[in-house]
Structure 1
């Protein structure tokens, strides 16, 4: 596979996941990390990537390529809106699930994230371990991938709410975890909403 194609796909995945996690976290008004979230939103290349995508992806037929493989989408703004709507919906479902996450799991995850010596992979593994433990306490009345996606983003919210200074680290670990483990599900959610 051509490395440029691979990198482009990775950028698309990261763009989609950045926007999803950012909008999910912004859906909660009762959080203690609003200032950190505002700063993070300004630092992320979310909209910059879209603008670059519009310029770089002009096809031979004059159409612009979509962020979603194999489809032509003229309006990237509608893609952002779809992702934002998905994030808001997942946050609403997450409100009901929030109470099922045991505080001691969050405290352990916060303690691990406070270790400055952890690599991104280590942080992702910590998130994975905590997610598995949290999944044990939640009823199985929802598809597994959806539950994992919501619980992963809820754990990020809870860590950032506990210690707002960890928002950047937990955000990055969450995006990486989703891209490695749940991105096919996320991409399918977006595709289904756009159809």
Structure 2
């Protein structure tokens, strides 16, 4: 494939969800700002919300933007901005829903994530169980998928706030959970905003 040709004008599934969750977490990262910066450096694509994509030094000494299959196209850049805006909006809504998550639920979820013997699937199941517990507090006037998406990311933010060292694990479990259960909704959010 020609390095100048992208695999499409859209960002990939993983990148979309990474951007969304990262942007949501970035909106309130008082206690885990340093951990979030380390995570940003580790993520594929080296994206940085509100700062574009970082350049990477290649073995030949040149700098080239990392992307999927070549240069980032204008459509991908605008899609990034749309995802960033969605993340900020969902974070604002999440701020209003924040009080509905009991601290003991966050403590329990953090304790489960600290158990290093848990597999990734077990962590996603812990997240799903916590979501079921807070499902009764979802706003009745909000579509279920939107409430689930916000609460999933809100739980991740609260766990990272509770125990900043868990940020990486909770981030990846949250991204995987969203990709498995809510990605169609996320994709539709992005499409609707792009139109």
Instruction: Report the TM-score range of the alignment, normalised by the length of the smaller protein.
Output: 0.7 to 0.9
Deviations 1:140-168 (A, max 9, x none): 22000000000000000000000000000
| Residues 1:106 and 2:106 are matched in the alignment | yes
Q: Does 1:185 align with 2:185?
A: yes
Q: Provide the residue aligned with 1:23 in structure 2.
A: 23
TM-score calculated relative to the size of structure 2: 0.81
CA contact (8 A) 1:40 1:168 kept: yes
Count of residue correspondences: 170
Bigger strand share: 2
2-side partners of 1:172 and 1:34: how far apart?
A: 17
3-state DSSP class of the match of 1:53?
A: coil
CA deviation after TM superposition for structure 1 residue 47, in Å: 4.5
Which residue of structure 2 aligns with residue 41 of structure 1?
40
Aligned mates of 2:140, 2:119 — CA distance in 1: 32
Taking the aligned partners of 2:109 and 2:39, their CA distance within structure 1 comes to: 21
For each residue in 1:105-135, what CA deviation from the matched residue of structure 2 results, as whole angstroms up to 9, or x when unmatched?
1111011101000000000000000011011
Of 43, 46, 53, the match for 2:68: 53
Q: Which stretches in structure 2 are left out of the alignment for 5+ residues?
A: 1-7, 48-52, 54-64
Aligned CA-pair RMSD? 2.1
Structure 1: segments with no counterpart, 5+ residues? 1-7, 57-63, 65-72
Q: More helix by proportion, 1 or 2?
A: 1
Residue 139 of structure 1: CA displacement?
3.0
Report SS of the residue matched to 2:12: helix
The alignment partner of 2:142 has SS state of: coil
